[in-house]
Amino acid sequence: MNGKSSSVVAFVVGLLVGVLAMFVFTSTPSSARLVGDASVREDEEVVGVSPHERSATKTSTTDVDPIADTAERRDVARPDAPDERLGVLVYGRIQDRSGEPVDAWLRFTPDNGDVVLGRTEAGSYTALGLRPGSAKLRVSGSDIISFEEQVDIEAVATQRLDVTVQRAHSVEVAIVTPAGEPIEAALRESELAHRVEIGAVATEVAPTGHLPMTDMRAHARFGIGRWEPARGLGRSGDNSLGPEVVGTLRFDLPPPIYASVVLRHRVLGTKIVEPGAKRVSFEISLDDLRANLTTIRCRVVDAMTLEPVATARVGISDRQSGGPGQPVGEDGRIVIEHQPSGLLELDAYAKGFEHYHQNLRLEPGENDLGDIRLGEARDVSIRVVDGNGEPASAVVRWTNLDRMTFPQPLNTGRTTSGDGDGLYKLWGVGAGNYVVTASSKDAGMGYARIDTRSIESNPLEIMLRPVVEWTVDAKTLATGQMRLVQVFDRQRTPVYGRYVREPAEWRTSLPAGDYEFEVHDGLRLVKSGPLRVSSGAMARIVVD
């Protein structure tokens, strides 16, 4: 190890030892305190009448001070300036209002640097690598009310920031069949075992229908609540809460609120949670579950001959699950039963053929997809270069545009590794129109729209261009709503797509230029317009 490396290691070790010593030998914590505001924002749109508007016993949380107004810092072992290589070490304690330590996740998003994550252990945290300046701090956890506020990172080596948070409210969710049998036990003895997972959501008003479709396994965070399953439904395991309790629903507002049992986006039942309630109970039959599932039929054929591909496998999944799929029959047909409905992904593949991937929107009941035509696998390669034409390393993704039959995110999860000389081979590609993107943290982003049936050069060159930040502002999105943001270039090539699941704001980046954006609520276009990404004023898409 050379002298320079040794000095860096020694500095880090000494810094961490000093921080630990401060925690051990400091008898009283710093007076610095950051408190999250748990009150309901006035600009949130609420459909219907909230039980809080009817209740005379509503618990006020408006006395909670915002972070930026109450934060005071005490600097310990402060040198003149932070180390340029290591940045500022921020540390502190997280506790609830009673002084009990709280484990949580911290995310610092600086205005002038990279995101830095912190994780508590027994209520204490450290976050190394921050730069002096303003940063957005987000604190979240399973049993606390999450919040975001701006904080100032000072030009010191170490800075202490203690955080006081509010505990979330919670109720146990119990489900039994009409015969009084715990739903988990009934599932284990049925054909639905290992195939469905029931969840729960908390809302201010009772849902008037079903929730927005989700591409995830379940709505783990929705409305004003977070769902924590006791264990996967239909699976064996210990449940200290009792066999009828399927999980805990935590929520950010005091009761009364509404709790709904859901199967992905399908609402199975709703009840009001009154103040003081420790448990909410539902009665759901296996037939109730079956009525909200889908059966998928299709036939896999050779795209050229239309003959069955008897060696094919077909898989149906959400964004959080997957697997090898199931084999088709000799006639190329397959039936997949007892599948939760909603936003799903279909994958079909066989040796020598393309890897067919398509996103689906499926309602409960029978869904016949007809013929899935597998084309011959094609050899397509990409060479990524920087602005000087030199080979560059990047994250390369590709999407079949012909199969984007409804508004959806751009990323299908397909990536590939390069050969070290900027060359990337795309696997599973068939005949059709594709968009290929290449992105690098240091060199920028590039993309190309290609028709694999008429590629003029192979490998195709993609040049990385410098990127400019722009903002997605969804702070006023009504709780319980879900939107899709898409961005297209002038040739209608999609270059960005992401779901917005809760009120938030974030920055992303694209090469400078003129684009068009669209905001969708399911299949409905709710907003569109031009998006000029430039180094001048920061472009912003407001999602509401």
292-315 pLDDT, tens digit each: 999 999 999 999 999 999 999 999
Q: Note if the bond before 459 is cis, omega within 30 degrees.
A: yes
CB-based contact 186:292 (threshold 8 Å): no
What percent of the chain has pLDDT above 90? 67
Please indicate, yes or no, whether residues 451 and 474 belong to a single structural domain of this protein: no
Closest CA to 258 of 268, 276, 249, 270: 270
Is 471 domain-assigned? yes
Please indicate, yes or no, whether residues 190 and 312 belong to a single structural domain of this protein: no
Please indicate, yes or no, whether residues 139 and 253 belong to a single structural domain of this protein: no
Which domain range does residue 354 map to? 294-374
Predicted pLDDT at 147: 82
| CATH number of the CATH domain containing 364 | 2.60.40.10
Please indicate, yes or no, whether residues 444 and 357 belong to a single structural domain of this protein: no
Question: Is the per-residue pLDDT at 4 higher than 80?
Answer: no
Please indicate, yes or no, whether residues 284 and 203 belong to a single structural domain of this protein: yes
Predicted pLDDT at 14: 52
Which of 217-226, 322-331, 524-533 is most confident?
524-533
Please indicate, yes or no, whether residues 444 and 498 belong to a single structural domain of this protein: no
For range 423-452, the mean pLDDT: 95
**Domain end (from 165, 180, 197):** 165
| CATH number of the CATH domain containing 70 | 2.60.40.1120
Is 515 domain-assigned? yes
Please indicate, yes or no, whether residues 102 and 156 belong to a single structural domain of this protein: yes
Is 12 domain-assigned? no
CB-based contact 520:541 (threshold 8 Å): no
- Better pLDDT: 493 or 240: 493
Please indicate, yes or no, whether residues 267 and 185 belong to a single structural domain of this protein: yes
- Better pLDDT: 57 or 151: 151
| CATH number of the CATH domain containing 233 | 2.60.40
pLDDT confidence tier of residue 165, bands split at 50, 70 and 90: very high
**Domain end (from 290, 316, 350):** 290
pLDDT confidence tier of residue 441, bands split at 50, 70 and 90: confident
Is 456 domain-assigned? yes
Is 11 domain-assigned? no
Please indicate, yes or no, whether residues 33 and 161 belong to a single structural domain of this protein: yes
Model confidence over 56-94: pLDDT tens digits?
A: 332 223 233 333 333 344 444 444 567 778 899 999 999
CB-based contact 224:251 (threshold 8 Å): yes
Domain count, the chain: 5
CB-based contact 384:393 (threshold 8 Å): yes
Please indicate, yes or no, whether residues 331 and 280 belong to a single structural domain of this protein: no
Going along 233-332, which residue ranges are E strands?
245-251, 257-263, 266-273, 279-283, 293-302, 313-317, 326-327
Is 20 domain-assigned? no
Question: Is the per-residue pLDDT at 2 higher than 60?
Answer: no
**Domain end (from 132, 165, 198):** 165
Please indicate, yes or no, whether residues 152 and 103 belong to a single structural domain of this protein: yes
Is 13 domain-assigned? no
pLDDT confidence tier of residue 267, bands split at 50, 70 and 90: very high
Weakest mean pLDDT among 323-327, 330-334, 350-354, 431-435? 323-327
Which phi-psi region, left, alpha or beta, contains residue 10 (left: φ > 0; alpha: ψ -120 to 50)? alpha
For range 117-132, the mean pLDDT: 89
Weakest mean pLDDT among 115-124, 227-236, 413-422? 227-236
Q: What is the pTM for the complete model shown? A: 0.77
What percent of the chain has pLDDT above 70? 83
Is 299 domain-assigned? yes
Model confidence over 38-49: pLDDT tens digits?
A: 333 333 332 333
- Which pairing describes strands 395-400 and 433-440: parallel, antiparallel, or unpaired? antiparallel
Please indicate, yes or no, whether residues 280 and 334 belong to a single structural domain of this protein: no
